[in-house]
Structures are given as structure tokens and as C-alpha cells.
Structure 1
Amino acid sequence: MADRATADRADSDAGGDADDVYVDEDDGERYRASAYVPVAYDNLEPAPTDESSPERGTGGRFRLLDLPKVPKLGHLIGPSAIMLGASLGSGETLFWPGLIAQYGWALYWAFWIGVFTQFVINTEIQRWTLLTGESVFRALDRVHPVWPIVVLALGLVSLGWPGWAASAAQVGATGVGLGDYALSVGSYRLPGWRAFGIGLMVVIWLTYQLTPLVYNVVERIQLVLVALTSVLAVVLFFVAGSVGELGSVPAGAMSIGSLPPETEIAAFLGGVAFAGAGGYLNLSQSLWVREKGYGMGRYQGRIKNPLIGDEPEPVQRDGFAPRNTESNQKRWTAWWRVARLEHFLTFVVGLLAVSTALMAVTAQYASGTDRDAVSMWLYEVAPQLGHFGGVLVYVVLFIALFTTQYAIIESFVRNSADVIYEAYGREAGWDLSRIFWGLLTAFVLWGIAILALPVPVENPFGLLVVGAAMSGLLMWPYTALILLINSRRLPAYAAPGWGRVVAMWWASSFFGYLSVLLLGLTLERDFGLALFRTEVGILGSAPGGSLLWVLFGVVQGYVIVNSAIATYRRRGREPNGLEADDSDWPQ
């Protein structure tokens, strides 16, 4: 491996032609099943502490290595498909079809803005990993070790309830006629849909035992489920005859800022947060691209099943920094372009197509509904579509919800394993793969316990609303932190340009604004603290609510000013005179 690194360095120093930037077809094929190249880490030269390397913060020094050559887009499809799967059963089949049915197409603007906002956030989450091989949680740890723990805690609150498994079980059990049945053990009765949900959790756990490389089985299963859901959703759209509803889309897309007065803020915030995956789920994009082998992630190890896997592959605590050569900067530009393109074509296009089609169906058949989204589909839409259309509704909902629950378990476990390993497990001598497997088993058992015990989850959609709202709250702090990290700590050629920085100002301001609204509403409605009432227009808020707005303004002002200063200083000092390629669409 040392010889390989030496050869790569010689190639890099020789120049920057296309052959030195892109891999050939055979090497590109290796990325289809995730790519990993071990390196003799301890023999690598430490990176300099100048502007050619990322700033180390509170962590150790990076090691110098060349960026891998870049494969074709088709070789890299995978991470964004998993993210799309995490989205389909939340915002795309439940929240947004429900919101559009209830309030009309006037809210569609928030959907497409939310999707493009999450595109920017997700690709910024990838940026640090592409250049260093470190996860986004390690980047947060370099700011302060408390931040990964805070994110983990908020992630548990937002995803700790098996709401999607419960909703999928409700749909599946009703579809196969088990909704009215119950299993009886003495005086204890387990409703049929709960038993069905327990079965789904067990199936998910078993799939992880199929291959040594955990990521590969997740990617393959998610690709199949996502493709199936997308095709069936489009078929449902045409069977329902909802093409005419698309005529209302342009006006709704342009109604920016309109919000019906009766809109429930928690549901709206949940919908915006889940116009995509949302919350804790988005952070998994960093770990999925590392497992796939994007950029410097190719030199970090992958998580294996400790029961059937081979020897563990090391994940270095302190990652890598590219040598300051023209070739490496050109490879960075190519990696950044192909990573964005993979996410745009898979995630953004997939969300816009599938969700808009389903919104059209509910707008036509459930206009003005006051039911929750699951009940709306099952008891309002399905009965009006005849036998074939009704079956399609059940199948699409079930697969979408199951796909999302699968991705949520994967995301929560992978994120949490990384945080725990770096915060405590590495120094304690724990194995990352065993942490992952243990958390997977514990999280599945927790979901089974919630479904099996007599706790109040008779309205599964209520769990989703709470989790979605908490996801929206989580997105404000980590979006602001990621902007500060990428703009202040990355070398100039890899740092975000002005377009990206402004887009992240919007993202952090948007989620911060919605978070203050939700916090004020919760304090007033659920705790009787009218002092903290917040108004949509800010003016007219109660004294406590006004204080919340002031605190939001101070934090957001700090983020904007510091990221602006860093961007201004860095953009004129790219090594070798190269400009960071941030102008080509889509950004």
C-alpha cells in the first residue's frame, strides 16, 4: 500500500490531465460494491498546519495522501438512494400529501424550497468527508466534543419511536385483513397490526446478517425498495387519473410565503423538515459516502458484521489531507461535481417526481380532509379508486413506510455508533463493528418493546409528527455549525463559494425561524406559558417570545458574519491560483 501511495503521488506531481483525474472502467467498477484501499497510516507524513490543509481544531493532525481518482457517476449511485428511501415514507407519502390535501396547493412552495434546501445541506454534510475521510461527527468534535453528544441526544428524541414501523404495520395489517385481529395471551391482547410491526422489525434485523459488509446489503435492498415505490407511485398517479391536478402546481410553487391561518405549525415544520429525509437522518449522508468510498473516504474502513465479517477495517480518528498539488485540486473539483450530481439526480429528482404525483392524488380525492395522513389514504382515498387502485394505495404506502423505517434504523444506528466510538469506544478499545451490531440489536428490541407493551401508540401518525418537529429543531444548530466548519476550516480550493454560503445562510435561518415558532407554540400550548407566545410575523410576540427571537437573531448574526469574513478572506487565496469550482449547476 505504501508503494501505491507513492505511485499516486508521482502521478499527481506529474500533471493534471484527464487520465490522472478519472479512473478507467475497470477501477470504476470497484465502486459499485463500495471501495476501500488500506494504507499504512502511521507511515504517512503529517499534514502541514498552513492554509493548504484543513484546520485541525481540537483534534489531531491530518496525514498527507493523494485524493483517489474519480469514477463515473454510474459507479457511485447508492448513498443518495438510501437517503431517498429515508424520505419516501415520511414527507413524500404522508406529510406533504396530507398537507396539500388539507390546505391546498398554496403550500407547495414550502415543499420544493425544502427539497432544494436539503440538497444544499446534504451536499455540505458530504464536503468535509470527501476531503478528509472523517465523518461529519468528527468534524463537529473538532469544534467541541460536546456537539456530537448533543446531536446524538436530539437524534434519539426525534427517531427513538418506531413511528414508521407502526404506520407500515397499520397499513400492511389492514391490507391483508389482520387489522381487526389480536393475539391473546391470558388477559393480554396484542393487536394484529402491532404483531405485524414486530415482524417487520425482526425482518430488518435479519437482513443485516446476510453479508459481511453492512453497507452493501443496505444499499442493495434500498435500491430495490426505492425503485419499486417510485414506479408504483407513478402507476397510482395515472390509475387515479390525477394528471389534471398538476395544473395547480405552478401557482402553488410561486405562492412563496403564504401560510393558511389554520395551519398547524408542528405539522408544517415536520413537513418542511421531511421535505427530504430531515433531522438526524441527513447526517448519515457523510457516513454513507465514506462507506461507499467517495473521496478520501476510500482510505477509511467499512463496518462489517462481527458475526460473519472478516478482519475489521480501521477507521482512523484523524483523517487525511490532500497534498497541495494541481492534480489533487483537479481531482477535488471532479469529486465535488460528481457527488453533487449523484445527489441531485437521485434525491432531488426522485423526491419531486414521486411526492408531487402522490400530492396530486390526495388533492383530488381527499381535499379538505381533517384526518391524519395514514387514515386519509386508507379511508378516504383508497375506497374511491376501485379494487385495483385501492390495492395500489396499500402497496405503495406499505413499501414506502417500510423503506423509511429500514433507512431510519440504519441511519440512527450508524450515526450513533460513530458518535459513541469516537467519544468513548476508541479509547476504551471497543470495536466499531461490534458497537454498530450491538446498537442495531438494541434499537430493534426497543422498537419491538414499544410495539409489544401496552403503551399508547394507537395513533402511529402522532409519533411521526412529534419526531418530525424535533428533526426540524435539530437542523438549525447542525446546519449553522456545518457552515462555520466548511467556510472557516477547509482550504480555499475546497471551501464553499459565495453561492453556497448564502444558501446555507438561508437554510440555517429558515430552520432557526421555524424552531423558534415551534418552541414558542409548545411552551404556550403544552405548558401554559403564554409569556413565550411567538407570532409568525415576529411582531406581536409576547415578551418571552420576543426574547427567543432576539436570541435567534444574535446566534444567526454570529454565523452569518463569521462565515462571510472567512469566505471573503479565503476566496482570494486559493493555492496555485486555482478557483474553487462552485459555479457549475447544480450547486
Structure 2
Amino acid sequence: MDQETAARSYPLGRSRPDLALDDLPEPEQVFKIDRIGPRQLFMYVVGPSLIALGISIGSGEWLLGPQAVGQYGFVGVGWVILVSAVLQTFYNVECSRYVLATGETPVVGWGRVPPGYLLWVPLSVFIVIFAFIAGGWAASAGQGMYALVHGEIAPAGAEEPRLWAIALLIVVFLLTAFARRISRTLELANWLMVGTILIALILIDLFVVPWNVWWEGIRGFVTPAAPPKGITATQLGGLAGFTALASGLNWYVMGHYRDKGYGMGYRTGFISGMRGTQQKMLDVGVTFPDDAANQSRWRRWYRLLLVDMWGVFFIGAMIGMLLPTILMAHAVEVSGTRPTTADVPTFVASVLDAEYGRGMFYIALILGVLILFSTQLGIFEAMVRVTTDAGHATSPKLRALIEGDPRRFYFPFMLFLLVVISVILHLALPVNLVQWSANMSNLGALIYPFMLMYLNSKLPKPARPRPWHYVLLAANVLFFGFFFINFIADFFGDPLVTF
């Protein structure tokens, strides 16, 4: 490397090429606006957090949280939800810090951690696919669709709900294929779905849920207490893992900040849909020189990230957990029965049907399908995205084969995954599959926070975390790692800690 090239590059980690150097763009330049006020913030800037929130609300907030509360009540469950949401939101910010500072998605960044990309990149792709390919999120959406079409809950073992789940996977494929810019299409879809979900849940809860149940739900979040007697390690670990997203594997969604153009992501490109024009997507990231102008721009980008994560994702996740769980608690109270693993996706709709009439039944089913489809949309696309980013960045042969256009791998691989998930859907109950995925997510908390510490400590000085950030990353390891180890012990015999 000659001196001029070395002066315009930034070494980071092992086994990957040095990052190029360029100035951070101004946010107004990226979003093509004159200024960023409240209106512009929500119209143009906020976005990646909504994709993550759409995934979160369907898995933890609609299935595992209500199931746990419906069976065991709020106390002893609620504090796990709150701690999980706080730690995960902080972890999301740290994952996104790397994306903003380098324009590389996390799966590519892991390749810079010793011993290098030959270990961490394929292993990370494998962990994400292994955790989510079970398809419980798709199977649950299929159950809701069946009930919506037939006006009754699907009988045990029915094939049609699985066919609906597969049909919804095809809808995801079509949404991405006909997009101009895939991330933007996902944002707009989640603005519509998440907004509809939260507004409708607020109205339903105000109409049917007594105030004492509202108070019990809120109090449960902030009341430290031992987990309720009888709850299993798998249930509690799944609740912790899928509250607010996917614990240690949250990084698999944070690559959307690159496609949105946040920070240095503006310099590295994005994945276009078939209707868009695919610009060049760099296989190596870009970072910024440590000077006064870039320090100022970094602070602006970091504040926007905090608004997106804490102001939208965290608040949305907590509201999204409170509203379904108090509705579930009320449904349990008025029906005198409790949800089971088999019927939790449609339990509330059945109770509302009996208590308030057919109209509420269909409203609840429509909400359930929207909630679970938003999860299906985000997870299915993210598995494809992570694999595409990993292959494009680390394999010159693949880049040559697809002629630099990541879509030539992205869409065929999505079709391949669609077929595989369609087969797996037939193997277990939906909520069992979701619990498995959630506990596999906790495995990531034993690995990736340490890798983040390594990567983020080597960023340009203005972008590096403060010392207390490392403490909170270690807290992620301890909290979620405990639940994973307890789940594994339970899976192979007896849990280390019983409740």
C-alpha cells in the first residue's frame, strides 16, 4: 500500500481490508430536505426502528408476553419485560453505532474480529438462519388467517393454516420484488401496520379492559419479584429473548440503517428492489476523519439514532407489550380459562367473540394477522438480507457471478428459503417454534456484545462508546446469557434454576 492510499484509509480489526476515508454527510443532504424539524423527523428520518418494532410486536408482544401473563399474571413477569426492553434497546444503539460509523452492516463487521471473517461471518449467518428458520412467526399468522376466513379457530393439525402461512411468505417476496428501495418499502409497510395496530389496541383496551387491569399491567413492569411458580425456563427465556426484538441477535435488523443512508451508510449503498435502479454497493466500508467538522456531524447522526431507537422503538415496544398483555389478562378473567401453547394466537379473539359479539372477534383477528405478518415480513426479509450482505462483502467469486448486483443473489435465495420454511412449518406448534427461536436469540448475547466491544473501541475517536456503555453491554451478556444457559439445561434435562 503506497503512502497516499494509507493516508486515505483506516485499519480496523483483522482479515478485512482497511476502511476508506470520506467525510460524513449532513443529514439534510441524505434525506434531501432543507431542515430537520418534528415533521421532517417523522416523515424522512425515522424508519429502521419501525422495521425492528414490527418484528418485535408480533413475536414477544403478541405471543410470548400475553401467553406468560395469561398463564401466570403480571407480577414476576413484567419486570423481565422491562429489563429486557431497556437492555435490548441499548444493545441496538451499540450495533447501529458501528453501522453509522463505517457503513458496514454488523454481519460484515463481525469479520473484522479475530480470528477473522472465515469464522465469524459464516457462523453468524448460520446462527441467524438456525434461530429463525423454524417459521413459528409465519405459522401463527397462518392460524389467524384461517380464523379470519372461516370465522372459527382452526382444528388441531389442520393443513390450511400452513398454506396461509406460505401464501403470506409469497406476499413478502412480492413486496420486496416490486419495491424501488427495499428498506423504504418495509418502513412504509410498518408505519401502516404498526400505527394501525397500536391505535386499534388502545381503542379496544379502553373499551373492554377495566382500569384496575391497566394498573396491574403497569405495576407489573416496575415491581421486582421472583418469577411465578410453575413458569418454565423455556417460557421465561423466550419472553426475555423476544421482548423488544431478539436479544443477542438484534444486530440482524440494524443493517437497515445503512440502506436508510444513516451516517457512512450514505457512502456504501443499499439493496434495491426489482423496480429500482441498483447502484453500486461497496463490499468494504467507509469511515470518517477525526476533525472538527466530522465530529459535529457525528454528534448529529448519533442524536438522530437515539431518537429513532429510544423515542420510537423502546416506547413502541413497551406500549406494544402492555396493550396485548392487559387484553389477554382481561380475556382470562372473563372467560375463566387460560391460553395454551396451541391456541394463544387466537385465544383473545375467541373470548371477545363470546363476550362482545362477532364484530370484536373479527377486529381482533385482523389485528392479530397484521401483528404477526409484520413480524413475518421483517424476519423473512432479514434472513435474506444478512446472507446477501455477508456473501457480497466477503466473496469476490460471488460478486463476479452476480456482476456486482446483490439482487441476483437476494431474490433467488429468498425463494429458496421460502421453500425450506414451507417444509419446516409442518413440524411443530407455532408457539413452540417461536419459543425455540427466542431462546436461540439469547445464545447471541453470549457472543456478540463482546464482539461489539472490540469493534466499537476501534472506531474513530468521536464514535467510540463511553466506559459505561461497555458495562451495559456486559449486562446484556449476563441477563440474556443466564436465560440461554438455563434453557439449554432444561432442554437436555433439568434447568439450573427452577421457578
Q: Deviations over 1:522-566 (max 9, x none)?
A: 1215xxxxxxx52369xxxxxxxxxxxxxxxxxxxxxxxxxxxxx
In terms of Rg, which structure is larger?
Answer: 1
Structure 2 gap segments, 5+ residues each: 29-35
Q: 1:467 to 1:505 in 2, by over 3 A?
A: same
Q: 1:234 to 1:181 in 2, by over 3 A?
A: closer
CA distance in 1, matches of 2:241, 2:170: 28
8 Å contact kept, 2:128–2:252: no
Q: In the alignment, what sits opposite 2:201?
A: 233
1:270 aligns to what SS in structure 2? helix
- Greater displacement, 229-238 / 442-451: 442-451
Q: 1:328 to 1:426 in 2, by over 3 A?
A: farther
CA distance in 1, matches of 2:477, 2:104: 23
Amino acid at match of 2:464: A
Q: In the alignment, what sits opposite 2:270?
A: 302
Q: In the alignment, what sits opposite 2:71?
A: 102
Amino acid at match of 1:520: A
TM-score scaled by length of structure 2:
0.88
Q: In the alignment, what sits opposite 1:258?
A: 226
8 Å contact kept, 1:246–1:360: yes
1:377 equivalent to 2:343? Answer: no
CA distance in 1, matches of 2:486, 2:215: 32
CA distance in 2, matches of 1:535, 1:163: 26
Shift, 1:181, TM fit? 8.6
Q: Which has the higher contact order (CA 8 A, sep 6+)?
A: 2
How many residues are matched?
473
CA distance in 1, matches of 2:237, 2:329: 20
Q: In the alignment, what sits opposite 1:550?
A: none
Q: Aligned match of 1:77 in 46, 64, 73?
A: 46
CA distance in 2, matches of 1:173, 1:316: 43
Q: In the alignment, what sits opposite 2:413?
A: 439
1:317 aligns to what SS in structure 2? coil
TM-score scaled by length of structure 1:
0.75
Q: 1:237 to 1:318 in 2, by over 3 A?
A: same
Amino acid at match of 1:403: S
Q: Aligned match of 1:348 in 294, 314, 322?
A: 314
Shift, 1:377, TM fit? 2.6
1:174 equivalent to 2:165? Answer: no
Shift, 1:352, TM fit? 1.2
Q: Aligned match of 1:522 in 488, 491, 498?
A: 491
8 Å contact kept, 2:181–2:271: yes
Q: In the alignment, what sits opposite 1:163?
A: 136
Q: In the alignment, what sits opposite 1:498?
A: 467
CA distance in 1, matches of 2:496, 2:220: 26
CA distance in 2, matches of 1:292, 1:341: 15
- Greater displacement, 125-134 / 373-382: 373-382
Amino acid at match of 1:82: I
Shift, 1:253, TM fit? 2.5
CA distance in 1, matches of 2:55, 2:316: 12
Q: In the alignment, what sits opposite 2:380?
A: 409
Q: Deviations over 1:88-110 (max 9, x none)?
A: 11111111111112111111011
8 Å contact kept, 2:249–2:445: no
1:284 equivalent to 2:244? Answer: no
Amino acid at match of 1:365: A
- The Cα RMSD (Å) is 2.6
Q: Aligned match of 2:292 in 319, 326, 329?
A: 326
Amino acid at match of 1:137: V
Q: In the alignment, what sits opposite 1:575?
A: none
Q: Deviations over 1:304-350 (max 9, x none)?
A: 23x5443x322223222212211101111111111111111211111
Amino acid at match of 1:126: S
Q: 1:45 to 1:351 in 2, by over 3 A?
A: same
CA distance in 2, matches of 1:181, 1:328: 57
CA distance in 2, matches of 1:261, 1:342: 37
Shift, 1:298, TM fit? 0.2
Amino acid at match of 1:476: L
1:63 aligns to what SS in structure 2? strand
Q: 1:449 to 1:518 in 2, by over 3 A?
A: closer
CA distance in 1, matches of 2:471, 2:203: 39
Q: Deviations over 1:428-476 (max 9, x none)?
A: 513322111111111223233445xxx434x222211111111222232
Q: Aligned match of 2:302 in 336, 344, 355?
A: 336
Q: Aligned match of 1:365 in 331, 334, 337?
A: 331
8 Å contact kept, 2:55–2:374: yes
1:430 equivalent to 2:394? Answer: no
8 Å contact kept, 1:80–1:285: no
Sequence identity of aligned pairs in percent?
Answer: 23
Q: In the alignment, what sits opposite 1:88?
A: 57
Matches within 5 A, 1:30-69: 45-47=5-7, 55-69=12-26
CA distance in 2, matches of 1:218, 1:357: 24
Structure 1 gap segments, 5+ residues each: 1-41, 183-188, 526-532, 538-587
